[in-house]
Structure 1
Amino acid sequence: MQPAVRLVSSNTGRDEEYSSLLAACARGDATALKRLYDATSPATYGRLMRLLRDRALADDALQDVYVSVWRNAAKFERGRGSVAAWIGTIARNRALDIIQMRGREVPLEAAGDLDTWFEPQPSPEVELASMQEATALRRCMDQLDADGRAALQRAYFDGLSYAEVAVWADRPLGTMKSLIRRSLASLKRCLEP
């Protein structure tokens, strides 16, 4: 079990930027919302996926989170915490609402995947292609060095920010960004036909 990730004071500049973007959102600046979304949505989505374990639910929840951020930007109280923590709290609460609502319905396991009830089922060819893509991704991930593989796992599957991955790995942020960039480039080369 990994210890809880503690972010270091270098996040102060990032939170200042997020606070400025959120203040601009409160004034109706849609461009600021897009910039805030671009900066914070990967980690938010990762956390939603960990809680909901369903891509469609996490996609919907992510949209709900940023609609809520837009509507409530003026209510953010800077003295009570960081913007990232505030967005994380909105995301957690939205995920818990979804989990609670699903708990009151017919158990989804008994009903099957409700998202696919009214959608055409994929053909066997499409399913085979998806399995082949997953196999290729696993093969390429296995070819990465252990540090690169672990960094990508933390950043893209666990939803940690690069700063959180750097703290987790006990490495400088710049080193971690370079490692992730090199690992992504290797992964892309391996996956290209």
Structure 2
Amino acid sequence: MSQPLPFGAGPSADRADLAEVMQKVAHGDKQAFSVLYDALAPLVSGIVVKVVRDRAQSEEVTQEVMIDLWRQAARYQPDTGAVTTWAATIAHRRAVDRVRSAQAAADREHTQAAREHTTAFDEVAEQVETRLESEQVRRCLHGLTELQRQAVTLAYYGGLTYREVAEALHTPLPTIKTRMRDGLIRLRDCMGVTT
């Protein structure tokens, strides 16, 4: 088995040597992959760092690219370009994918955080508003006559019809209707509702 020339013996020699090394890698030669790794890792790392800009993630992406080169070695076609160009293309794609993935994750987290913040604020605001309205309704109910308060309470909180309210209070139906109408007008005025 012939030993490849050391990397850096000249541009045309580099291209031919790396193509030959790549063929050996394609056939599962681990020693050839070690030579390929030493030759391409600095190039791959440089490209990845420029795109990703995070040292730890760049190291991960560089390792992923080198593994891709091992797995895809059989796909390399020397007539389509230099090994370095092929490796640089894979490195750039992987780095861009990592940046997009990180951005998408950050966007999802931001959206979720905003949703949770808005929901929490809305729930608190709604509870406060409901509590204030309930207190105002109770205060306004105390301003009604006893029959008006009983009729309104049975109708709106008890869900009874006018006829059922009249029967429950042993009061004629027309009297209940009048008291309800007057009571609702007083409540409306007390609550400051405009029509």
For normalisation by structure 1, the TM-score amounts to 0.50
Which structure ranks higher in relative contact order (CA pairs < 8 Å, sequence separation ≥ 6)? 1
